[in-house]
Amino acid sequence: MSQDSYFEKVRAQFPALTQKVHGKDWVYLDSAATTLKPESVSQRIYNFNKYEVSNVHRGAHTIADKATVNYENARQAVAEFINAKSQDEIVFVRGTTEAINLAAHSYARNVLKEGDEVLLTEMEHHGNIVPWQLAAEEKKAKVLAAKVLDNGELDMADFRAKLSPKTKIVAVTACSNVLGTVNDISTIVKEAHKVGAKVLVDAAQIVSQEAVDVQAWDCDFLAFSGHKLFAPFGIGVLYGKKELLDQMPPYQGGGSMITNVSFEKTTFNDVPFRFEAGTPNVGGAIALHAAIDFVKSIGFDKIKAHKKALLQAATEGISKIPNVRIIGTAANKGPILSFVVEGAHHSDIGQILDQQGIAVRAGHHCTQPLMKRFGITGTVRASFSVYNNMQDVESFVKAVKKAQELFQ
């Protein structure tokens, strides 16, 4: 079976793509914001809500036991998916942003001192900037950012120059949600560890593109969201090396995260439960397991090759349109294509594409410092996934050409 035929069968698992928008076949190119959900994931969450609903860990009945087993099986599935040493290193949260906030609150606030530094990059999402700023401000530490080159690659010389014994934390995206740049995480971690810094990786964009191996990277923390991995909203993961999680105080208080409560003193549960106060998103975790199974059924070799072909075709097509500038031309890119049209506002282009049935994202993409670095206020962003095909690319390029002609 050819790759095109294979991915047409994958595409058929996404009923959302059968709809029409403004009378046209819907072309969904906003997967960097959130992925569509395959039938297997939708059916899994449906079955849970219909037949299996129960709270976990404390139930005294059969269905509660079943929910607990499935919830913890999901934790194990995540651990295996990113090659963590143990499922004890997997904390379920709402998404990438909460995962980073947890690390900033429970780890950074307890290690940072006045004069210390947190090193980020200019390509970070606001969710990987603001939590560190809050922690640094409280501790009178500084937040620095390594520069991005004109082609969208991280300036490794500047990164190394800004590393010092003062650097206690490095937080970096594995793949830029605007530029598509895929960073060399192994090298970044090695350089950071040389000065004794701990590294958090924002893996929100990379988890649906290629295999993540936290042990090979040797990162200290890693965060991602289920909804960018074909799972529902409201479920995400913080991975942390167990020796670090063991040292961290609770992020929130309440049920599940305790072993004993009295008015005199409360003692806290072991990790990861110490960080999962209250009723967890049981259905979300179970659906995340189904999403991981979906990805594994395809395989990252096929996924990466398919997305690379789509990105290459889209890049070639957009590059031929006059007065269109691509933002982010790194050699190693994920399936993300951001661009600006001379004389046109990005929001106007986005609306014109929508009228042609093309769903893209337009704006600053929660990366205002990066927009400032490139001297723009925003971009139009197309992002590709397993359910896209070359016809989608052709429709997209044709729509951009039509939009550009309106502003000549």
CATH number at residue 192: 3.40.640.10
**Which of 296, 326, 346 is a domain's end point?**
296
Q: Report the pLDDT value the prediction gives residue 254, as an integer from 0 to 100.
A: 86
Shared domain for 255 and 316, answered yes or no, is: no
The pTM score is: 0.96
**Residue at 35 is within a domain:** no
Per-residue pLDDT 10s for the chain (408 aa) are 677 789 999 999 999 999 999 999 999 999 999 999 999 999 999 999 999 999 998 778 999 999 999 999 999 999 999 999 999 999 999 999 999 999 999 999 999 999 999 999 999 999 999 999 999 999 999 999 999 999 999 999 999 999 999 999 999 999 999 999 999 999 999 999 999 999 999 999 999 999 999 999 999 999 999 999 999 999 999 999 999 999 999 999 988 887 888 898 888 888 999 999 999 999 999 999 999 999 999 999 999 999 999 999 999 999 999 999 999 999 999 999 999 999 999 999 999 999 999 999 999 999 999 999 999 999 999 999 999 999 999 999 999 999 999 987
Q: Report the pLDDT value the prediction gives residue 384, as an integer from 0 to 100.
A: 98
**Residue at 304 is within a domain:** yes
Q: Report the pLDDT value the prediction gives residue 1, as an integer from 0 to 100.
A: 62
**Which of 264, 296, 328 is a domain's end point?**
296
- 349, HSE (Cβ side, Cα atoms, 13 Å): 31
Q: Report the pLDDT value the prediction gives residue 355, as an integer from 0 to 100.
A: 97
CATH number at residue 354: 3.90.1150.10
Shared domain for 203 and 127, answered yes or no, is: yes
Give the angle 355-361-363 at the CA atoms, nearest 5°. 115
175 is an active site residue: no
Which one of the listed residues 156, 366, 371, 376 is annotated catalytic? Answer: 366
Which residue in this structure is represented by tokens 């004069």? 115
Give the angle 245-251-256 at the CA atoms, nearest 5°. 85
Q: Report the pLDDT value the prediction gives residue 266, as an integer from 0 to 100.
A: 87
Contact 328, 179 (CB under 8 A): yes
Shared domain for 126 and 265, answered yes or no, is: yes
Shared domain for 12 and 93, answered yes or no, is: no
Question: CA-CA distance, 385 to 403, in Å (whole number)?
Answer: 23
Q: What is the chain's length? A: 408
- 199, HSE (Cβ side, Cα atoms, 13 Å): 25
Q: Which of 371, 313, 366, 368 is nearest to 340 (CA)?
A: 371
Shared domain for 205 and 103, answered yes or no, is: yes
Q: Which amino acid is located at 267 in the chain? A: T
The domain total for the chain is 2
Q: Report the pLDDT value the prediction gives residue 260, as an integer from 0 to 100.
A: 87
Structural domain boundaries enclosing 127: 43-296
Shared domain for 213 and 330, answered yes or no, is: no
**Which of 244, 267, 296 is a domain's end point?**
296
Shared domain for 210 and 350, answered yes or no, is: no
